[in-house]
Structure 1
Amino acid sequence: MQVIIGLGNPENRYNGTRHNIGFEVIDQFAETNNIEIKKTKHKALIGEGFVGGKKIMLVKPQTYMNLSGESVLDIVDYYDVPLENILVIYDDIDLEVGKMRIRSKGSAGTHNGMRSIVQLLQETEIPRLRMGIGRPEKQDLVSYVLGKFTPEERMELKDTLKKAGQAIEVFISKGVTEAMNQFNQK
């Protein structure tokens, strides 16, 4: 089984915010592949299905961003999922809006959700898909990441969300290295 995890914050007030782009990617991928995300299990909303003949689980942790690792650790322990079968999707201020980057490992950087996952799993070799949200020019960081995308940014994101779905499909069928080769923009 492969587990695709989008990071975000629960509660409707966070819908459409930059910090919830991981949830958006999961929702769009679920819709494209006719997977319902409605079970509550492992401190997350979960949907299960098949993509390309492979069993997958789509996960939206409900622990709030800073405690995302609790949900991920619970899933990894319960299903004994190898870390190379996990893809974590989250926002990244170091990438421009409309850009995405896939990595097979690395530090959590400044992202508290990824930091929680790395800390609780005690591992940095966790595949991830980082979605660019840009860096604020004048606004403080918390207000920026919890703010909504502008209409112009939404236009830029349209193609990127589609590409993210394609990258997830390649990750599922061929692994993280092939996904990196096909989708990392130079």
Structure 2
Amino acid sequence: MKLIVGLGNPGRKYELTRHNVGFIVADKVAVLTSASATKTKFEGELCESSIGGEKAAILQPHTFMNASGQSVRKAMDFYKLSLEDLLVVCDDLNLPSGKLRLRPSGSAGGQNGLKDIIRHLGSESFPRLRVGIGRPPEGWAVNDYVLGKFSKQEQETFEAATTRAAHATISFVNHGVGQTMSEFNADPAAPK
């Protein structure tokens, strides 16, 4: 059993914002794997799926980004999962727009959702898939940028990046961190 957690903020106000990349990826994984109907559980929205014969729960915490850990902790305890069975998908300001980076563990790197999950789990040793949203333009406040919607120019990049991240998530369930890192951390536009 795997737990896939897409981070974001609930409500219409935050739909399709840069900070909700994790929700967008979780929705795409649910569609691609024909997941069950969504239900309210663990202070979030939850659906279940079978991915390559492995059972997977897909969770979108509705506790707001900075309090994501309490939702994740409840799901981890309910399913009795180990840290390596968890994959957290989130946005990352420090990665170029559209770039993916999967890691088996690491610090929060300034991402408040990850920071709260680390606090609730008492460990940094769980896989996370970061989707780059790039740095804010000159003169923009970070909060305004991450809570802003994608510009027309960005929409194509993020449509492709979130679809690729959904496929990376499915690969994580089927093949684990190592193989998925080698396939998806590389720039898809780079020559082979």
TM-score (norm. length: structure 2): 0.94
Distance across 2 between alignment mates of 1:134 and 1:37: 33
Superimposed CA distance per residue, residues 147-172 of structure 1 (whole angstroms, 9 cap, x where no aligned partner): 00111111112221221122112100
- Report the secondary structure of 1:175's partner residue: helix
Residue deviations 1:33-92 (CA, integer Å, cap 9, x gap): 221452111111000110111100000001000000000111111211111111000000
Deviations 1:6-40 (A, max 9, x none): 00001111000000000000011111222145211
Kindly provide the CA deviation profile for residues 113-170 of structure 1, in whole angstroms up to 9, marking residues without a partner as x. Answer: 0000001101011100000111112200000000001111111122212211221121
RMSD over aligned Cα atoms: 1.0
**Unmatched runs of 5 consecutive residues or more in structure 1:** none
Identity %: 41
CA contact 1:103–1:180 (8 Å) conserved in 2: yes
Name whichever of 170-179 and 154-163 sits farther off.
154-163
- 1:151 and 2:145 matched: no
Letter in 1 for 2:68: S
Equivalent residue number for residue 176 of structure 2: 175
What residue number does 2:84 align with?
84
TM alignment of 1:54-73, pairs within 5 A: 54-73=54-73
Q: Tell me how far apart the structure 2 counterparts of residues 155 and 132 of structure 1 sit (CA, whole Å).
A: 14
Secondary structure in 2 matching 1:60: strand
Runs of 4+ in 1 over 6 A off after TM superposition: none
* Contact map agreement 1:93 1:135 (CA 8 A) in 2: yes
Partners in 1 of 2:36 and 2:24 — Cα distance? 14
Aligned amino acid, residue 30 of structure 2: A
Question: Which residue number in structure 2 is paired with residue 140 of structure 1?
Answer: 141
Give the Cα–Cα distance (whole angstroms) in 2 for the partners of residues 145 and 159 of structure 1: 19
Structure 2, gaps ≥5 residues long: 188-192
Amino acid at match of 1:145: V
Distance 1:150 1:134 in 2: 13
SS of aligned partner of 1:45: strand
Partner of 1:97: 97
